[in-house]
Every structure is written in structure tokens, then in C-alpha cells.
Amino acid sequence: MTQSGEEVADFSAVLRGMSGVLLSDQTLQSALRLVTALAAESIPGSRGAGVTLAGDGGPMTTAASDEAVERADSLQYEVDEGPCLEAMRLMRLVRIDDLAQETRWPAWTGPARSLRIRSVLSVPLQVRGDVTGALKVYSPDPSAFGEREERLLGMFAEQAAVLLANVRSVEDLERANQRLRELVHSRDLVAMAKGVLMARGDLGERAAFAALSQESRRNDVPVREVARRIVDSFADRES
């Protein structure tokens, strides 16, 4: 299907905004705030947007741009049915033209009508076939979304999923780097503590490490904690 020039221009603006944050922000929360803000701004007629992420404890809404969006999502999680859950679970676009006439998901549609929501558009977020969650927009007007909005939100969701995956990868890398820094710090502490023990008791390196290990077992604390105490005690006496 041929996209109009206006549609391409709108989506190009979205991509420019996303690429800027990908280069400058490295937190998942920052990325999600961008995703919802751009979705709400890019889809004509939308009242607000939200992202549902699949987690170990079940689906959760992150960075909803409107209180009604957050409440509508919470209702879905409570009754375990609704348009965004279906989009995520079945990996397909879901559209509601008029919530007042909607007969699917009866446990959700009844309470949701009190939120002044009439139209819903929800698409899955997936990278290489793995479902990350769902992106959705809500509108107070009936029949607010059509094929053009479906295409735009679908293209936007593809890039949003990549953005989320990239940010998560950055965070994974940061956590790995932090663990490495902690490991190096622990090794340095143990080396310094061995040096202190070797100087105090005329011990060899192996004997000094054995002394650290014995103290660790005796007090049921990690070797690095024993080393830290020895180094701190030595520094206090030297100051």
C-alpha cells in the first residue's frame, strides 16, 4: 500500500526524535517516556498513549501519558483480558472503533466505559519474533483511528521495539561493567589486605591469603569484607 507524503513526513519526524534519545539517554524509563510522548503526538485524535511490557510478574504499564490510559490498562490486568493484552499475546494489531458498542472482552469493556474512552488502537512490540509488550493509543472520540493510524502506529511500534531492545542492551552492558568494577575492586582490596598482613607478620603471600580465608570462615563474611576491614584499620592508624 502506498504511503502518502504526509504520512512519511510524520513518521520521519518520529524517527528523528527517537534516534536523538537513543544516542543520548541510556535508561529504559527515558526511552519509554519518549515512546509514549511521540505516540500520543503522532497519532491524530489520541488522548494518550502507553506501553505495556511483559515481565516476570505479568504485564505492566510503564510511562503512560494519561491517567485514563493507566487506569484502562490496570483494568485489563485485573480481569486478564482486553485489547492491549490481546495484541501482545496474539502478536497482532487490535482496534476498537467504539467502546460503547464493543462486545469483546466483556469483563473489561464495562468498567472501561466510565473512563471516557471510545476508540483504542493497540499493536505488539516485538524484536526478531520475541514479544516485548504492546504500544497503544486511546481516544475519547468514536472511530478515531483508521487504516492510516494503523500503519503509522505499526511502523512506529517497530522502531519503538528496536529502541527498547537497544536501551535494554545498554543497561545489560552497564550492569556487566558494574559487576566487573566490583570484581576488580574486590581483587584490589584483597591484594592490599594481603600486603598489610605480610608486612605485619612476616608472612608469605599464600599464608596471608590463608589468614584472610580463615577469618572469613570464622566470622561468616566474604573475604572481600575481611580485606576491607583490614585495609580500613590500617588506613586509620596511618592517618
Least confident of 71-75, 163-167, 195-199, 220-224: 163-167
Write the pLDDT tens digit of every residue in 6-40.
554 555 555 555 555 544 444 667 777 777 788 88
pLDDT tops 90 at residue 4: no
Q: Which amino acid is at 4?
A: S
Q: What confidence score (pLDDT) does residue 146 get?
A: 93
Q: What confidence score (pLDDT) does residue 95 get?
A: 97
**pLDDT tier, 65 (very low <50, low <70, confident <90, very high otherwise):** confident
DSSP string, 90-154: HTS-EEES-GGG--SSHHHHHHHGGGT--EEEEEEEEETTEEEEEEEEEESSTT---HHHHHHHH
**pLDDT tier, 102 (very low <50, low <70, confident <90, very high otherwise):** very high
- Asked if 51 contacts 32 with a C-beta cutoff of 8 angstroms, the reply is yes
pLDDT tops 90 at residue 122: yes
- Asked if 224 contacts 189 with a C-beta cutoff of 8 angstroms, the reply is yes
Domains of the chain: 5-170 (3.30.450.40), 175-238 (1.10.10.10)
User: 10 Å Cβ neighbour count for 37?
Assistant: 15
**pLDDT tier, 2 (very low <50, low <70, confident <90, very high otherwise):** very low
Q: What confidence score (pLDDT) does residue 131 get?
A: 67
Q: What confidence score (pLDDT) does residue 112 get?
A: 93
pLDDT tops 90 at residue 97: yes
Average confidence (pLDDT) over 116-142: 87
Q: What confidence score (pLDDT) does residue 177 get?
A: 64
Write the pLDDT tens digit of every residue in 160-190.
777 777 766 666 667 766 776 777 778 888 8
Q: What confidence score (pLDDT) does residue 69 get?
A: 86
Q: What confidence score (pLDDT) does residue 67 get?
A: 83
Average confidence (pLDDT) over 107-118: 92
Report the mean per-residue pLDDT for the chain: 80
